[in-house]
Structure 1
Amino acid sequence: MKLLTPAPWSDYELIDCGNFEKLERFGSYVLARPEPQAIWDKTLSQEEWEKQAQAYFRKEKGNSERGEWVVKKGMPDRWVGTCPIGGQKLSYKLALSSFKHVGLFPEQAANWEYIHRKSKALQTPKVLNLFAYTGVASLAARAAGADVTHVDSVKQVISWSRENMELSGLDNIRWVVEDAMKFVRREVRRGNRYQGIILDPPAYGRGPDGEKWVLEEQINELLKLCKELLDPENHFFLINLYSLSFSALIAESLILRIFGQTRHTEFGELYLPDSFDKKLPLGVFYRFSTVAD
């Protein structure tokens, strides 16, 4: 089992975390927002947090997800950041959303490097990115020459992803606004195959037509369908799971039961270190490939 964290990059820093919050720098701007995994005390004082943060997310009463940002003068609603992936600089738009998210999950940078590396080694693979959000994983595959299909159920998020593609100087990603399970079932019926599959499912979600997604109830079926889509000879596969009830051992048991023994396998936890060497866990991952690093 591995603990995986991204290499440092200039446009992101986890400054401090604790008391169910995290203090982060995205480019030139410092944000404070909720983080349920940060159960320890903060290192910096509350006064220092309030001094540094240019935007602070406040949750609505009785709502664990929605809220609003309290912003200081000069803090924009949206801005652009960059991340070096595979020797290239990819760009992404950041924005303050009512769900505390900003359009980027920084801990995934370690997986973006993996996606780029494996896509390059497989030489123009067909890559499917499910629950693809704003698409930096899609950019990592496309920048390595992959033929990318990007699937998300939210039309506005697909538009955001397209902006990120254009900001990065890339093109020809296939955009699909659809429920992930519906799309995969149809692809299986069509007999389609992919050399790369990326999965980053939420704990809960809704499809464009109100389809209900519950991770614990549906991930087993989805993985079985993904096995049918994955090219048996040449492939990479990556899944991220961010749910307080899921461990790396659950991911391992799921994959082994469905895919059997896999080659060049890695699994464990993703984390971000803050400036005081506290390690903030941010989900589990499982990845394997037919091509070695």
Structure 2
Amino acid sequence: MIILETPSNWPDYELIDSGDGEKLERFGSQILARPEPQAIWRKALSQAEWNSLANAYFVKKKGNRESDNEWGEWNKKGNCKEQWTIGYSYKQMKLKFRLGLTSFKHVGIFPEQATNWDFIYDTIQHLSAEKPSVLNLFAYTGGASLAARAAGAEVTHVDSVKQTITWSRENMELSKLDGIRWMVDDAVKFVAREVRRAKTYNGIILDPPAYGRGPEGEKWILETNLCPLLENCKNLLTHKNSFLILNLYSMGYSPIIAESLVKSIFKVDKPEIGELYVVDRAGRKLPLGVFLRFLK
């Protein structure tokens, strides 16, 4: 088991402080404070310093649904931007992202995924397939899709929210890329159709949420739907020159759970498993997700 740190030489991102159930991050020119349940230690900086530094502070609101537990609003200062851009570079890969403040505390990027973007870029560069194809499920605003496309892959990007697909397309254009296939669809239904079509991919990336809804109200529950989805993904992944990445963000899901699940389906001997984390200025490692990935 390994742990992977978000690249520390990323000029446009920094975890400044964490603790007391919150994190203070710099995304380019903007410093944001938002909830982080895994930061159970004390803050290194005082609350006054947090209030002084933050351009916006996210405040949770109580919702009526289980999926509303991250819903709220941003308390913004006068110098806070509603939208702005940041960049990410690795070797010849130059990505740009449009960020914005959403009512679900997210800003359009998961910085801990940068190490997976590097892996995707390097892996595709070394595949022997003439035109590698990659399927990105629950693809959000497209960081992994952009990394795969920058490496030369043919990319299919699937997300159930039309506005998120529009956001992803903006990021593609900002990154001076093109040619990504956009699908506003339920991941489970899309994969089942691809299996019936006998479609195959050299790479599959999955970032499933704990709970979610498809474009027609299809209900996604991680512990119920993930196993059958992966069983169908097995039929889509080429037997050679292929890779798979699975990310899990739900608290309570360990790398060992991901390993047992994937090994039982894909029959791989030694998948790479572990946690993704970011380090704050005080040196505390903040875990932000479980990952599993393998090459065939």
Please report the TM-score for the alignment, with normalisation by the length of structure 1: 0.97
Rounded to whole Å, the distance in 2 between the matches of 1:164 and 1:115 is 17
Residue 289 in structure 1 maps to residue 295 in structure 2: yes
Change (3 A) 1:262 1:230: farther
Q: Any residues of structure 2 matched to 1:152-191 within 5 Å, and which? A: 152-191=159-198
Q: Is this contact kept in 1: 2:62–2:71, CA < 8 A? A: no
Rounded to whole Å, the distance in 2 between the matches of 1:160 and 1:101 is 13
User: For residue 277 of structure 2, what is the aligned residue in structure 1?
Assistant: 271
| Deviation by residue 1:121-164 (Cα, 9 ceiling, x = unmatched) | 12531000000000011000000000000000000000000000
Q: Is this contact kept in 1: 2:203–2:237, CA < 8 A? A: yes
| Deviation by residue 1:102-127 (Cα, 9 ceiling, x = unmatched) | 00000000000001111111253100
Change (3 A) 1:102 1:207: same
User: For residue 212 of structure 1, what is the aligned residue in structure 2?
Assistant: 219
Q: Any residues of structure 2 matched to 1:193-204 within 5 Å, and which? A: 193-204=200-211
User: For residue 248 of structure 2, what is the aligned residue in structure 1?
Assistant: 241
Q: What count of residue pairs does the alignment treat as equivalent?
A: 289
Rounded to whole Å, the distance in 2 between the matches of 1:206 and 1:23 is 29
Tell me the SS of whatever aligns to 1:276.
coil
User: For residue 13 of structure 2, what is the aligned residue in structure 1?
Assistant: 12
Tell me the SS of whatever aligns to 1:48.
helix
Rounded to whole Å, the distance in 2 between the matches of 1:29 and 1:209 is 35
Give the % identical residues: 61
| Deviation by residue 1:217-259 (Cα, 9 ceiling, x = unmatched) | 1111011011000000110110100000200000000011101
Unaligned runs of 5+ in 1: none
Rounded to whole Å, the distance in 2 between the matches of 1:187 and 1:27 is 39
User: For residue 106 of structure 2, what is the aligned residue in structure 1?
Assistant: 101
Please report the TM-score for the alignment, with normalisation by the length of structure 2: 0.96
Unaligned runs of 5+ in 2: none
Residue 261 in structure 1 maps to residue 262 in structure 2: no
| Equivalent residue letter for 2:17 | D
Structure 1 segments of 4+ aligned residues over 3 angstroms from their partners = none
User: For residue 82 of structure 2, what is the aligned residue in structure 1?
Assistant: 77
Residue 46 in structure 1 maps to residue 52 in structure 2: no
Rounded to whole Å, the distance in 1 between the matches of 2:69 and 2:252 is 17
Residue 136 in structure 1 maps to residue 143 in structure 2: yes
